[in-house]
Amino acid sequence: MNVVITGASKGLGKAFAKQFAASGNTLFLCARNGQQLTETSEEIKGQFPTCTIHTKVVDMSIKADVLEFATFCLEFGMPDILINNAGQFVPGSVYNEAATTLEKMIETNLYSAYHLTRVLLPKMMEQQKGHVFNICSIASLQAYSNGGSYSISKFAMLGFSKNLREEMKPHNIKVTSVMPGAAYTDSWIGSGVDEQRIMEADDVAKMVYAASLLSPQACVEEIVMRPQLGDL
C-alpha cells in the first residue's frame, strides 16, 4: 500500500511510519526538518528493510509546499492511506496570546490537512477506495486551560474530518478522526512529567494501524484515547 504521512520525522508521525513500515508498505513522509526526516527514514529503513520510503522536506503551513508534496506523492500512484498528522502546539489563552497565533495554528493544524486531502482525494474517488486518518486531539472535544488557539484549530480539524466522513461515504473512502490524549514524544522530554503517566506514541499508532485493516464494509469513525489515569 501507498501510505502518506505528514509530520513524520518524530513523535506520533514517526510511530505511524514505523507501524506501517513493518508490513512492507511504501511510505511517503514529509517534515519541516530535513535532517530529522533523513535520520528517521534511515532508521526505519534499517529496521524494516522490506519497506520503501520516499521523503520530502515540506512546511505544511505553506499551501504551495503542501500542493508540491501532493504532486510528488501522486507521481507514484494512488495513495491508499493518508494520515494527516502534521501539527503544532503553541500554548496560550485567547485573551493574551500573540495576535498571529490563531492564524498560525489554523494554517498548520487545519489548512495543511485540508489542502493535501483535496488534491489526493480525486485519485481515491476514481478507484473507489482509500482511508483518511485525521489526527485531531482530545483538545478537539473539550476546552482546557492554556489551550487557546491550538484547541480552536483542533475543534476545526474535527469538524473538517466529520464533514469529510459524510462526503466520502458514497465513494467507499473511509475517514477516521483520531483524538489522542497525552502521548510521550520528544516534546515531553524535560517537562518533568513521568513517561509512565501518559501513553506511548506506539499505542496511538497501533490503533490507527488496526483500524486500517478492517473489511471494506467497516469504518472506525472515531478513535478516542487517554492515559489510563485520565488527562493531565
- Report the length, in residues, of the chain: 232
* pLDDT tens, position by position, 17-34: 999 999 999 999 999 999
2 sits in which H/E element: strand 2-5
> Is the pLDDT confidence value at 189 over 80?
no
Q: Kindly report the CATH number that applies to the domain delimited by 2-225.
A: 3.40.50.720
| Separation CA 47–CA 123 (nearest Å) | 31
User: Which cell numbers hold the place of 178?
Assistant: 483520531
Q: What are the extents of the domains in the chain?
A: 2-225
* pLDDT tens, position by position, 128-143: 999 999 999 999 999 9
Give residue 192's pLDDT.
85
> Is the pLDDT confidence value at 190 over 90?
no
The distance in angstroms from the start CA to the end CA of the chain is 37
Question: Which residue, 138, 130, 215, 214, is CA-closest to 165?
Answer: 130
Looking at per-residue pLDDT, the higher value among 188 and 65 belongs to: 65
Listing DSSP states for 24-37 in one string gives: T-EEEEEES-HHHH
* Active site positions, annotated: 150
